[in-house]
Amino acid sequence: MQASYKQPDEQGYYGAFGGAYIPEMLYRNVEELRGNYLKIMAEPSFQQEYRLLLTDYAGRPTPLYHAARLSNKYQTNVYLKREDLCHTGAHKVNNTIGQILVAERLGKKRIIAETGAGQHGVATATVCALKGLECIVYMGEKDIERQAPNVARMKMLGATVIPAKSGSKTLKDATNEAIRDWINNPNDTFYIIGSVVGPHPYPDMVARFQSVISKEIRTQLAEKTGSELPSAVIACVGGGSNAAGTFYHFLDEPSVGIYAVEAAGCGIDTDKSAAATQLGKPGILHGSRSFLMQTEDGQVEEPYSISAGLDYPGIGPMHANLFVTGRGNFLNATDQEALDAAFELAKLEGIIPALESSHALAALKKVSFAKDDNIVICLSGRGDKDMETYMKAMGQ
């Protein structure tokens, strides 16, 4: 039994998951980050700038909203953590603001990132514009086609978007290309990873930057209910950054139920799914050991979800540990269940959620909570980017 579910050990392991399985070409960069990230994050000047940007630039704290009609329908108390109201439209900016300040303090001039749906790419392009740094975003050729508005946003923000043409031409390949770029530019480049994945210390660093979500929930819930601790917290998981942030300050509170919702795609009994804990086995991808969807022969499989942000064959090592230890309850929602939850929220509460967040909302149909329970769901992003999918679902 480890002391904390929140943080990895010195080698970057959450239980049996994590580590830094990187080729020597990345060693110096990763080691530079590992040796400095905690020091930098603890500096008063860093703390001050980070907090100021979160408040005045990103719009934090985001509201904790008591969704009365949704609560009434499910006969429990549902609170929505409104990350959809963050600047750029999702929680991703919490992390990119943090990492750009780390990059700046390490003297890096050139920023690279990977993106799937484009939310992390937009959040990275945004902070690069803010700091006047060069920004290169790798995005799968297929994703570039299906997420045109976010590609345009990144370009307007001054970023260069480079199509990843290898392999399946989606998020995992964009990540491969970003890592190759980093190998080829070992001196001036900083890689801003968008989720709690990658080699140590990335999962820990990203989780710490996203942990502001659960920190705020505790304060806000105490104001509203008199207790800092909800009965349960619920978040969707692709790589798992909004989930890591939502769970973080509750992981070592045994009374709080932890619910992670993966994308089942067409269903976990089909070959079109992205539920890595259900369909994966322990393996190594992008520098860490975690659950990974793969063939018998250890080749990485192509995941599928209606939501590009959950379309990843792995899951962050912190979540893999929550899964195997049983600390987290792992659910999954199909494309259709996520769509239903999105339309329900739109009609009951006047909020159009991102498709990713809709997977978290779908948990309300899968778990029955007591009438006096306080349930917090992370509404990680807004649905503007998904309107085309929603219009299709409405038959337009």
Partner 1 sequence: MSRLKELFERKERNVLNVYCTAGFPSPESTLPVMEALQESGADIIELGMPYSDPLADGEVIQNSSTIALRGGMTLSRLFEQLKEMRARVRVPVVLMGYMNPVLQYGFEKFCADAAAAGVDGLILPDLPPFEFEASYKVIIDRYGLDFIFLVTPETSETRVRQLDALSSGFLYAVSSSSTTGNEKDFAAVEAYLERLKSYQLKNPVLVGFGIKDQDTFSRACKYANGAIIGSAYIKALEGKTEVAAATRDFIRNVLG
Q: Which residues contribute to the site for partner 1 (CB under 8 A)?
A: 11, 19-25, 27-28, 166-167, 172-173, 176, 179-180, 183-184, 186, 281-287, 292, 294, 296-300
Strand pairing category for 189-192 and 110-115: parallel
Distance CA 367, CA 321 (A): 22
Question: What SS3 state is found at 190?
Answer: strand
Region class of 346: left (phi > 0), else alpha (psi between -120 and 50), else beta: alpha
Contact of 135 with 109, CB cutoff 8 Å: no
Q: Which residues pair with 251 in a beta bridge?
A: none
Distance CA 147, CA 385 (A): 8
Q: Which residues pair with 292 in a beta bridge?
A: 281, 314
Alpha helices in 43-170 (DSSP H): 44-52, 68-74, 92-105, 119-131, 141-146, 148-156
Distance CA 101, CA 351 (A): 32
Annotated catalytic sites, by residue?
92, 114, 380
**Long-range pairs for 31-39: beta carbons < 8 A, 24 or more residues apart:** 32/106, 33/102, 33/106, 33/201, 33/202, 33/205, 34/200, 34/201, 36/102, 36/105, 36/106, 37/102, 37/201, 37/205
Contact of 344 with 67, CB cutoff 8 Å: no
Provide the greatest CA pair distance for the chain.
56
State yes or no: cis peptide before 186, omega within 30 of 0.
no
